[in-house]
Amino acid sequence: MNKKDISQVSSSVRSSYQKAMDAARKNNIDYAIEILKSIVQKDPGFIDARTALREQEKKKTESLGAFAKFMSGIKAGSLISKGRAKLKKSPLEAMNMAEEALAINLYNIGALGLLGDAAFEAKAFFVSIESLEMIEKLQPKNETNLRKLADTYQAAGQGCNALRVWQRISGMRPGDLEVQSKLRSAAALASMEDGKWEEEGDFQTKMKNKDDAVILEQEDKIVRDVDDISTMTQRYEAQIAEDDSSVDVRRKLAELYYRAGRFEESVAAYEWIVNKMGTLDPSIDRAIEKANTGKFNLAIEELRSKEASESEINELETQKFNYRMERAVDRVNRYPNDTELRYYLAQVYWEGGFVDNALEQFQMGQKNPHYRLSAIVYMGRCFHAKGQVDLAIEQLEKAISEMLTMDKVKMEALYFLGVACEDSGNTEKALDCFKQIYQNNVNYLDVAVRIQKFYDAQKNNKKR
């Protein structure tokens, strides 16, 4: 079972989802839950509806009193028992029973456990992970759940997450040989995931011996914690000196060179990978661009330290931008259907002030589920920059309507909606946008100044 975003579901499902979002905005929680629950039961892969459902269920559960919570456990109990009975023969039905129980109380461990087990049977690993992670937050020392979570991460190919959980279990059972074996297996998968190995054959045939997994686990810790980049660099350089020609080692070394500011060597290592593979992978191309951009930045810093003229600095900044533009355009030309590359090119156009070009690319980039909302916000900003304020407001409102959590992305969208509303003369709506941000982060950009300016204007009007 795969995840779906709103662009991949039927028009009837989209319509139901919008009804639920309208109900949620009006704080009609029970009605929103009923619609969203129905959607995820019919289309369990629709991740937007699933996320929205959990948000509404959380609000409902946290509003329950002690007696209501007690009664919710009794009501959910029979649903959980029925779901357990259907688990093996009909995991999807069991998932639906779990959703019914969670709609009563999101923090019911039995219901979350049922959903985790049923989703695993249905190979909907992302759903299983969601429910097991919730249990982890509620009961961080529940070893049975931790083992299930680690196994599900592993089944989903998420080696680094599996390693994290097995390390926790290992801390709880330091002398357990079975746990140590699982830990080594997870470390091996984590290394494969981090290096994105694509060679043929299973991992065991690639390992010199089974102790290599432990070494890989230690290396992963060092690289992630940046404890000693120099030591890790020397380790990989020694492996290369011993004629280790694996792509994985070169990739890790290239990343370490970049972290150390050794940009020339980073580029050389990535170019070795390109020659070895016989093709320029987009991710490698981006990495080479990043390293070369690092070289430009170093040169610009050096000019500033020598108090060079602004014209010299601007010339180098222009060269850097042109290089980034050239690479981004070339990648899109080579991979025209890659919406992530379209989104990146749009950002470069936007930074350079090429608003029409940016708008065109953001319109294509919004098809990527990971960048969809961000692309819509940028589209609103593009319309605003073109003086088409009504279109800007429409796009920004569209993005905000799908954002349930007041995070950095939503605050950004609200800010630019506020600015657009101010420019259109709708100061009341602009103030509402700024207030929503201010209540969550008083230091966000110039929101405090804008709000104070409004209140000052009100005072002055009253004096007249």
Distance, in Å, from the CA atom of 386 to the CA atom of 343, rounded to the nearest integer, reads: 19
Rounded to two decimals, what is the model's pTM? Answer: 0.53
**pLDDT value at position 191?**
59
Return the domain boundaries, the chain.
Answer: 346-464
What Å distances lie between residue 401 and 164, 364, 371, 410, 444, CA to CA? 35, 20, 16, 10, 21
> Do residues 189 and 203 make contact, with C-beta atoms less than 8 angstroms apart?
yes
Considering only CA atoms, which of 231, 233, 273, 286 is closest in space to residue 257?
233
Distance CA 377, CA 152 (A): 35
At residue 464, the pLDDT reads 61
Neighbours of 303 (CB within 10 A): 17
* 308: CB partners within 8 A, 6+ apart: none
Query: What pLDDT does 314 receive?
Result: 93
Q: What is the three-state SS of 279-320? A: CCCHHHHHHHHHHHHHHHHHHHHHHHHCCCCHHHHHHHHHHH
The pLDDT value given to residue 233: 86
**Cα–Cα distance measured from residue 323 to residue 339, given in angstroms and rounded to the nearest whole number:** 21
Contact 267, 291 (CB under 8 A): yes
CA geometry: angle at 436 spanning 430 and 438, to 5°? 100
Q: How many whole angstroms separate alpha carbon 420 and alpha carbon 387?
A: 10
Please provide the CATH number assigned to the domain covering 346-464: 1.25.40.10
Q: Which of helix, strand or coil describes residue 64?
A: coil
Q: What is the radius of gyration, based on Cα positions, of the chain? A: 26
Q: Are 350 and 378 in contact (CB under 8 A)?
A: yes
Q: What pLDDT score does 204 carry?
A: 40
Helix, strand, coil in percent for the chain, rounding step 5: 80, 0, 20
Mean pLDDT by 10 residues, the chain (464 residues): 80 87 89 92 88 90 84 84 88 91 90 92 90 90 89 85 83 75 71 47 40 45 53 86 82 89 92 84 89 93 91 93 94 89 95 96 91 94 96 95 87 96 93 93 92 85 68
Which residues fall within 8 angstroms of residue 283, CB to CB, at 6 or more apart?
none
Which helix (DSSP H) or strand (DSSP E) does residue 269 occupy? Answer: helix 263-277
> Which pair of structure tokens corresponds to residue 142?
């529940």
Residues 126 and 118 sit within 8 Å (Cβ to Cβ):
no
First-last CA distance in the chain: 66
Distance CA 417, CA 396 (A): 6
Q: Could you tell me the maximum CA-CA distance found in the chain, to the nearest angstrom?
A: 85
Alpha-carbon gap, residue 11 to 159, rounded angstroms = 36
Which of these, 136, 99, 139, lies nearest to 115 by C-alpha position? 99
- Structure confidence at residue 430 (pLDDT): 94
- Give me 359's structure tokens: 């708008």
Token pair for 299? 């040169």
